[in-house]
Amino acid sequence: MVDHQSVKIGYASPRAQRRRSQAQRRSLCCCSLMVIISLLIAIIAFRGVFSGIFSRKPAADENAVRFPLSVETERSWYYRYHLVPVEVKSVDPPGSPQSDEPPTVVVRRDGELVRNLGPFKELKLHYDPTRALWLGYWPPPWNIEPGSYTLEAKSEIDPGEWEWDASQDRRKRDSDEEEPEPEGSAWAVANAPFEIKARARQTLEPGLCVATWEFDFRETFVGPDGSKGDWTKLYEWAEYMGADTVWFRGGLTEGPGLTLEKPFKSINLEAIPRMGAEAHRRGLKFGTWAVAYSTYPKSNAGKPEYNWALDISRSTGATSDRPFVSLLDERRVTALTEFFRQMQALEEVDMVGLDYMRSDRGGYEMVEKFTAEMPVELPDGWGDWSERRRQRYVAEKIEGEWQSDPKFYDCWNWWRAHTGAEIVRRIIDGSGVDKPTWIFVLTWLHGTQHGQDPLMFTDAGISMLAPMLYQVTSRGMFDSVVEAWNGYLKPGQANIVPGDQVDFNWHQKMVSPTPATAEMHDRIVTAHQEFCPGEPLTGAFWHDINRAASPANNGPYSGREWALAGAAAFSTVRDSWGVYPLRVKLEAPDTNTIASTFTVTVNIENLSKRDVKNIKVSVCDTPLIVPRGLTMPEDDEPFTQIKNLDAGTTVQKDLQIRISKASAERANRAMVAIRITWDEADFDEPVRNDLPRQIIVMKYVKGT
């Protein structure tokens, strides 16, 4: 809708021209004027005689051109992931469309120009002859401030060719003032106001701590104590580390026999109700996710006949299909919507998520749509180029010139993020899901380099984002990840649940000076504390149970150590929210002589307004660590007990421990992990009485 139209002119307004003409008309002789008046009287009398026969009133000319320019948007508001469509109509005085030169269109806020995405201040417009309109899009910049914005369209005009109402000239002048001849330039200006909105993040209980299982369902499993059993053993891992939720990869396009109608392997889909029921039996929440656009294996032979993401060689121009479904394939949107609809209907499922909600390397099958919608500079003759040549050009810009032309690259990433968020909104709307939802997101440059944006996903209706802190090649790279998120997020914008992966290799095979397990713990804690300035993050996830149970990627550390590192991170997350009645701190030396006893001190503070009873202080079973002087149950961890801790008081427990022997592969580093548990009670807020009642604190001590 058009809000305001005006004319800007160099020295004289259209009103001045009209006054000049009026002055000339006054020079008519009195005789001529009397003839004209007599003629008017005769006409009026004639109309009066026949007024009973002809009662029609003179109709206003509805087709009269009143202004040369108008600008509109389709609606009055947009979210940050929307691509704002713009329509501009430009006409000459007789009403014919002006298609030679596009009007200038900019976006303003409070009168100031808004810095646009990419290199341009002005919107890119193209003329649509079928509608006789100039069309374009405005991509709101990353994390734009919500509020009121204005589209401003402007085109140069010749004011002498137009008739104007007095209301259209906003300047007030004395009626007898003589004005000079118009000089300089004149512009018609049209404005259209609109709003950019941010969807309020969903209210979630703080302290969500998730253990994931990414591999296919199987009937047998190994527990954290090394014992073998059926698939329910996986929940022993969740309980061992104090997770309150388990996420399972339920929707996966892999293997033979899949179709467009049934694109996900059945073994995982069929396991979802069983797994959810077992989680609920143990007091845990259960969520399941679908791998959205990635498929397995790398070859696409035998898979459902999707349209695949296209890669193109910059050197030869040869194309190849990636094992990712194209974001433009509507059939994948239908499949993911159906998965969400089914999960919404299952009472055993508490939340539902997505992974690989993005395109892969390449994605150049989307070049035509991208270049049509985004304000990127294109070479002369672009419209005459073949489709392959256009794809190759964009591939070169993205992969070869991303540093020399970062604004083009930024437009590509924004457009992919916008496209993904639009798909997510359609999945949510189409499935009717109202359970909490999440998306795993990559972390480099807060996801944008991969065509993901946590705020676009939040605006699209996702409950929480799960940034993956793994596949980071160095600690320096991780610090850059933290810095990028910290500089991007603002308090209150999104629910963030970061997590790290059980993998010795992806923690740079750290043994000394930092064990890989301790590095995992520190990444989760650092992300929780520093990703968003001014507030702790909603929760954390630990990835995953299968990796901890299978020693292939664990390095010299046991699966229990990886689990305890995650558990200690969970405890820090919950402590930041005050959702436990106790706060526990561990004091231990950095080094100690091998085989000699040393003391660790556990400080336990009661933060609640009531006594905490039967506090159990246990030493977890980790390699090289031998506790002394504790109660040694057969099937449990050695412990000491505190019968009662008064409200608002602190107790200190000293424990005697030794490192049993040297271990070169661990650089003689041993994990001291202490588990604190207590009796159930009805504690006041902010304590969450539904959470597992355990706190883990840990530290590595180096034997010398």
> What was the pLDDT predicted at 177?
58
Task: Please list, in sequence order, all residues whose beta carbon lies within 8 angstroms of the beta carbon of residue 592, skipping any fewer than 6 positions away.
Answer: 598, 658, 659, 701, 702, 703, 704
In a domain, 606, yes or no: yes
Q: Look up residue 3 and give its DSSP letter.
A: -
Spatial contact of 312 and 392, defined as CB atoms under 8 Å apart = yes
Instruction: Give the CB-side neighbour count of residue 386, counting CA atoms within 13 A.
Output: 4
In a domain, 646, yes or no: yes
**Angstrom distance (rounded) from CA 673 to CA 696:** 7
The token pair at 464 is: 């929480």
In a domain, 493, yes or no: no
**Angstrom distance (rounded) from CA 477 to CA 449:** 14
In a domain, 654, yes or no: yes
**Angstrom distance (rounded) from CA 57 to CA 51:** 10
In a domain, 424, yes or no: no
CATH number, domain containing residue 632: 2.60.40.10
β-pairing, 591-592 vs 694-703, is parallel
In a domain, 48, yes or no: no
The token pair at 137 is: 């899009």
**Angstrom distance (rounded) from CA 484 to CA 632:** 48
Q: Tell me the angle at which helices 516-530 and 475-488 cross, rounded to the nearest 10 degrees.
A: 10
Spatial contact of 30 and 180, defined as CB atoms under 8 Å apart = no
> What digits encode the pLDDT tens for the residues 213-258?
999 999 999 999 999 999 999 999 999 999 999 999 999 999 999 9
In a domain, 347, yes or no: no
* Phi, psi (degrees; rounded to nearest 5) at 428: -65, -45
**Angstrom distance (rounded) from CA 642 to CA 628:** 17
Tell whether omega for the bond before 686 is within 30 degrees of 0, i.e. cis.
yes
Could you tell me which of 412, 301, 288 has the C-alpha nearest to residue 343? 288
**Angstrom distance (rounded) from CA 506 to CA 500:** 10
DSSP state string for 511-544:
-SSS-HHHHHHHHHHHHHHHSSTTS--SEEEEE-
**SS3 at position 173:** coil
Place of tokens 């892999």: 254
Q: Look up residue 392 and give its DSSP letter.
A: H
CATH number, domain containing residue 159: 2.60.40.1930
Decide: pTM greater than 0.75. Answer: yes
Where are any strands of DSSP class E within 292-390? Answer: 308-312, 319-325, 351-355
Cβ-based neighbour number of residue 180 at 10 Å: 8
> What was the pLDDT predicted at 181?
57
The domain total for the chain is 2
Q: Look up residue 202 and give its DSSP letter.
A: P
Task: Please list, in sequence order, all residues whose beta carbon lies within 8 angstroms of the beta carbon of residue 347, skipping any fewer than 6 positions away.
Answer: 276
> What was the pLDDT predicted at 162?
77
Could you tell me which of 281, 288, 267, 285 has the C-alpha nearest to residue 232? 281
**Angstrom distance (rounded) from CA 562 to CA 520:** 8
Residue ranges making up the domain that contains 153: 69-165+183-197
Q: Which helix (H) or strand (E) holds 43?
A: helix 30-49
Q: Which residues of the chain have pLDDT under 70?
A: 1-65, 163-184
In a domain, 87, yes or no: yes
